[in-house]
Amino acid sequence: MKKTCVLVTGAAGEIGHNLIERLKQPILALDIVKPDQTLPSHVDFRQGSVTDKEFIKSLGDEFSFSAIIHLAGVLSSGSEEDPFHAHDLNVNGSLNMLHLAHSQAQTENRSPVFVFASTIAVYSINPPFDKFSAGKINEEQFLNPVSMYGMNKLYVERLGQYFSTTIRTNTGSRVDFRALRFPGILSAETVPTTGTSDYGPLMLHAAAKGEAYSCFVPEDATLNFMVMPDAVEALVGISGADAAALTRRVYNVTSFSVTAAEIKSQVLKAFPQAEISFDPVSWRTNLISSWPMDTDDSAARSDWGWIPRFNREQSFQDYLVPGVRRKYGLGLDH
């Protein structure tokens, strides 16, 4: 008898780390590296790669996955630094996970939910269009990514659609694919490494550590963001949403849009001594320039009740600043 559980890939990463703490049902956590936290008793861990077909297949022989939440991947800046690795991990690794879900749909005659962490990098707004006049864009606009990461993610969204609706089946059961297009995610607990929206959290963490920070995008760089607790709730929300209520397979989710200069002023409010300068790096700035300033998440709000708990002010005051102060042992008074 196979054990039933939720599979979370990339479980040791920024989002995975928080998600496995939040989910209460039995979980199989998978990552290429060991998580640095002590895992709760409802979490089993397997170390291995999503690109290892035999390893992934063996998990399907042992477990019945009610849902697969696929987070393993390399983010935008890491993908530009090694586009071949990015393609292998983000595309081939995702195909292996979809294959696993599809095999379970076939052998167990059911429709496992497959949740994919996508991104606003699937969009690209380039001349003659302007991201500021484009405003909040919906899921169907400007799907013309130029980065390896954006192309990888958009293709996997399309593969998910294919596995859910088109692929031939013996049983009639198909994967129930759902994707969230996340904006930049700000976490108080962890410091990101391979994303291009990382300047937001890096500015804050450096200030809390008393270190100077040189920002790799200009002051007017504008993107949308959300904080980690909202990202985790979005994943929980889409995973549990009633399939009949979903009008799309891919949803924008967001909280607030902000410039790099506004992030700096929020950080200075909490850490007045912070030394933050701007020294833009062109290839990273170009990525940010092509991404929307904001996304329209009204479909997620109306279909499955998505609503972020933290707006811009609350994100800094109620979550980020107290969180980083705690992380670096600064106490809550300043």
Ligand X SMILES: NC(=O)c1ccc[n+]([C@@H]2O[C@H](COP(=O)([O-])OP(=O)(O)OC[C@H]3O[C@@H](n4cnc5c(N)ncnc54)[C@H](O)[C@@H]3O)[C@@H](O)[C@H]2O)c1
Question: Which residue has the CB atom at the shortest distance from ligand X?
Answer: 13
CB nearer to ligand X: pick between 110 and 248? 248
Any contact of residue 294 with ligand X (CB under 6 A)? no
Tokens 């849009």 correspond to 257
Q: Which of 39, 44, 45, 49 binds ligand X (CB under 6 A)?
A: 49
Q: Which of 27, 29, 50, 148 binds ligand X (CB under 6 A)?
A: 50
Q: Which of 7, 13, 77, 249 binds ligand X (CB under 6 A)?
A: 13
Cβ neighbours around 75 below 10 Å, total? 21
Q: Which of 5, 7, 8, 16 binds ligand X (CB under 6 A)?
A: 16
CB nearer to ligand X: pick between 10 and 292? 10
How far apart, in Å, are the Cα atoms of 16 and each of 19, 153, 282, 289? Answer: 5, 18, 30, 28
Q: Which of 5, 8, 9, 69 binds ligand X (CB under 6 A)?
A: 9
Nearest to 235 by CA among 14, 51, 30: 14
Whole-number minimum distance, CB 111 to ligand X, in Å? 22
Q: For 299, phi and psi rounded to 5 degrees? A: -65, -45
Any contact of residue 31 with ligand X (CB under 6 A)? yes
Any contact of residue 32 with ligand X (CB under 6 A)? yes
Three-class secondary structure of residue 277 per DSSP: strand
H-helix or E-strand spanning residue 18: helix 14-22
Q: Which of 15, 137, 156, 179 binds ligand X (CB under 6 A)?
A: 15
Scan residues 102-161 and list those touching ligand X (CB under 6 A): 117, 119
Q: Which of 7, 20, 51, 137 binds ligand X (CB under 6 A)?
A: 51
Tell me whether the omega of the peptide bond preceding residue 112 falls within 30 degrees of 0, making it cis: no
- For 278, residues 6+ apart whose C-beta sits below 8 A from its C-beta are 214, 215, 217, 218, 219, 260
Any contact of residue 179 with ligand X (CB under 6 A)? no
Whole-number minimum distance, CB 305 to ligand X, in Å? 21
Nearest to 221 by CA among 308, 319, 300, 287: 287
Packing angle between helix 148-165 and helix 94-108, nearest 10 degrees?
A: 10
Site residues (vs ligand X, CB under 6 A): 9-10, 12-16, 31-33, 49-51, 71-73, 75, 89, 93, 117, 119, 182, 184-185, 192, 194-195, 197
